[in-house]
Amino acid sequence: MSDRTGFIGLGAMGLPMVTNLAKAGFALMVYDVSPAAMTAAQRISTVSAAASPAEVAQQSDIVFTCLPNDAIVRQVYLGPGGIAAGGRPGLVTCDCSTVSSEMTREISTALRSRNIVHMDTPMLGSQPQAVEGQIFFIIGGDEAQVERISPCLKAMGKLHMYVGGSGVANQVKLLHNGLLAMTAVAVAEALALCVKSDVNPLTFYEVVRNGGGMAYGTYFERRAKRIFSGEFSPTFKLELMRKDATMAAALAKRLAVPMPILEESIRTYNEAMDAGWGEEDFSAVTHVIEKRIGQKLSEAKKGATP
């Protein structure tokens, strides 16, 4: 590959993405604050370890980052030993993190003064999609750079789409996850009503999934049976969904768009966090609804047949 590639952030999404880049023939320089994550990445033969984000930037033509929040993204890019300190003119940085558009534009402006191009490339998909190379990338920033970064995106994902200038991809991602956060609460409430109505939960599942009605959705198909089975192992943690929904609400407030359903959904996520369910899958917001009705939805499945 002609462009040297760097990757910073080797978590649940980042490490599978690095693995897929390596499988596609990319030699990578990587960095993470976690020694365990660095050790895992170095088991891949074409991966080299860096001592800092600055070293990754110094040795790369394209750098991807996949990080938890605005504060960490700012530190990695603009802090001491960060990407800005090590990056050379011509470097392209691609941030896959879910952050605010303000954060992206701040970084883009700071890097532009160093002749570094910054792209926002947030993702749709969770850990299974990262492992399978089925991520969908939303791209914002300089459209002229899309062709240059597309070989990397194709190695890690199934599709990518350019949506506008700097920060626009971040906004699209927050719109998406705000809607998803509301959907998860709405599905939990519907399943609770199903159980309390003595409707066979698997029958209800099949009606929604196969009946052709507009209540069907990907979240319902992927999560309803897991909920009825009491399965909440995380592919995307509840604490992260609460963060994204809160950021979506902040965007709505800034633009003076009333979103009472989103606000009520966030209160439900806050209750789930307070109860200690933040490390579970975001579908664990269902526990709050179970608490409200005084019954676990998984209990209703026992003995049920569709």
Q: What is the pLDDT of residues 255-270, one digit of tens each?
A: 999 999 999 999 999 9
Q: Is the pLDDT assigned to residue 30 strictly greater than 70?
A: yes
Nearest to 203, CA basis, from 296, 293, 301: 301
In percent, the amount of the chain with pLDDT more than 70 equals 97
Q: What is the pLDDT of residue 300?
A: 74
With cut-offs at 50, 70 and 90, classify the pLDDT of residue 303. Answer: very low
Dig out the tokens for 97 from the structure: 């993190």
Mean pLDDT of 106-135: 96
Residue 119 pLDDT: 98
Q: Given this model, what pLDDT does residue 304 score?
A: 52
Write the pLDDT tens digit of every residue in 12-21.
999 999 999 9
* This prediction's pTM: 0.93
> What is the Cα–Cα distance from 233 to 246, expressed in whole angstroms?
22
pLDDT at 28: 97
Q: Domain spanning 171-301: which superfamily? A: N-(1-d-carboxylethyl)-l-norvaline Dehydrogenase; domain 2 (1.10.1040.10)
Spell out a b/e string for 107-119, using b for 16 or more CB atoms within 10 Å of the CB, else e. bbebbeeeebbbb
Tell me the domain boundaries of the chain: 5-166, 171-301
Predicted confidence at residue 306, as pLDDT, reads 42
Check whether 305 has a pLDDT greater than 50: no
Question: What is the reported pLDDT for 82?
Answer: 98
5-166 homologous superfamily: NAD(P)-binding Rossmann-like Domain (3.40.50.720)
Contact indicator for 61, 86 with CB cutoff of 8 Å: no
**Locate tokens 């009605």: which residue?**
213
Tell me, what amino acid is at 112?
R
Q: How far apart are the first and last CA of the chain?
A: 52
pLDDT of residue 52: 98
